[in-house]
């Protein structure tokens, strides 16, 4: 099965980890298509998610070699086992591609004619989306089996942005959904839903998000293997007429979600002590 990875940047840790996981399970990507590192949309998104200080630290870790060949910083520590390579870590998709032998291409827009032509040249059966543009119909029609995304929430209960935080506020089980992307917002057919078993161990909302991303990389491999064997198919979502799409969360609401996460952790600790 020919698989292509779409990523928001060659420095995406999620894309690097996914490429390694696929290659080690005998699914070496047919290619990876990344947005330009200075893509305006990606920069704005990271600044809003992480803040200026964290974006600067991340950029230094990826762009500046460590003295003495030491381990570079990793934004998501839960991806480190997949990112480790020799005495350091993979810092970019290009480094992963050099080791496992697949091409990497850069584009300014994943929906552009140039990008579509590149994808058609690779002739993918499946495209895995790890970030970037809102995808349009011409791109979605390229792969035989569709474009697959890992959504950090259980569909159709929580669609859209800030899914882990909204899951906590709405008292919906925290988890991930592996689904096909369609023309809607998280409305595509579902391959598999997984509740996340370690919510009570999470120290913060960012810790929860990082754990969910690593959990998603792990579970995506299971779905890819099942697709390769022909033992899984996507099922249409139900209740799409109900308004379950959420948007970027206000800081006050994020604070409330963080309080709920802390209460869950404390309750779990109390149960352990009394158990």
- Residues 128 and 174 both lie in one domain: no
pLDDT per residue as tens digits for the range 196-216: 999 999 999 999 999 999 999
Residue 244 belongs to domain with CATH number: 3.40.50.170
Range of the domain at 269: 151-275
What sign does the CA torsion over 218, 224, 227, 229 have?
A: negative
As for how many domains the chain has, the answer is: 2
User: pTM (2 decimals)?
Assistant: 0.88
- Where b means 16+ CB within 10 Å and e means fewer, 92-127 reads bbbbbbeeeebebbbbeebbeeebbebbeebebebb
Query: What element of type H or E holds 88?
Result: strand 88-89
pLDDT per residue as tens digits for the range 8-43: 999 999 999 999 999 999 999 999 999 997 656 655
Among 113, 145, 177, give the residue marking a domain's end. 145
| pLDDT range class, residue 248, cuts 50, 70, 90 | confident
């Amino acid at each position: 099965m020919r698989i292509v990875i779409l990523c928001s940047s060659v420095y995406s840790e999620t894309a690097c980890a996914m490429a390694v996981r696929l290659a080690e399970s005998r699914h070496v990507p047919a290619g990876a298509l990344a947005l330009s590192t200075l893509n305006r949309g990606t920069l704005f998104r990271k600044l809003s998610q992480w803040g200026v200080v964290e974006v600067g630290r991340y950029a230094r870790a990826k762009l500046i070699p460590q003295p003495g060949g030491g381990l570079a910083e990793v934004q998501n520590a839960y991806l480190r086992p997949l990112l480790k390579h020799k005495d350091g870590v993979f810092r970019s998709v290009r480094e992963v591609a050099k080791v496992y032998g697949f091409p990497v291409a850069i584009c300014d827009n994943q929906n552009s004619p140039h990008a579509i032509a590149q994808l058609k040249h690779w002739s993918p059966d499946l495209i895995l989306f790890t970030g970037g543009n809102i995808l349009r119909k011409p791109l979605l029609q390229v792969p035989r089996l569709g474009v697959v995304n890992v959504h950090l929430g259980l569909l159709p209960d929580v669609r859209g942005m800030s899914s882990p935080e909204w899951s906590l506020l709405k008292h919906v089980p925290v988890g991930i959904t592996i689904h096909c992307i369609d023309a809607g917002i998280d409305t595509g057919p579902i391959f598999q839903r997984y509740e996340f078993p370690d919510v009570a161990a999470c120290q913060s909302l960012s810790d929860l998000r990082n754990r969910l991303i690593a959990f998603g990389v792990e579970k995506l491999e299971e779905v890819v293997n099942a697709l390769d064997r022909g033992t899984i198919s996507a099922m249409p979502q139900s209740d799409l007429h109900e308004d379950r799409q959420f948007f970027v969360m206000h800081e006050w609401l994020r604070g409330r979600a963080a309080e709920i996460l802390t209460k869950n952790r404390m309750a779990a600790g109390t149960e352990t002590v009394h158990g």
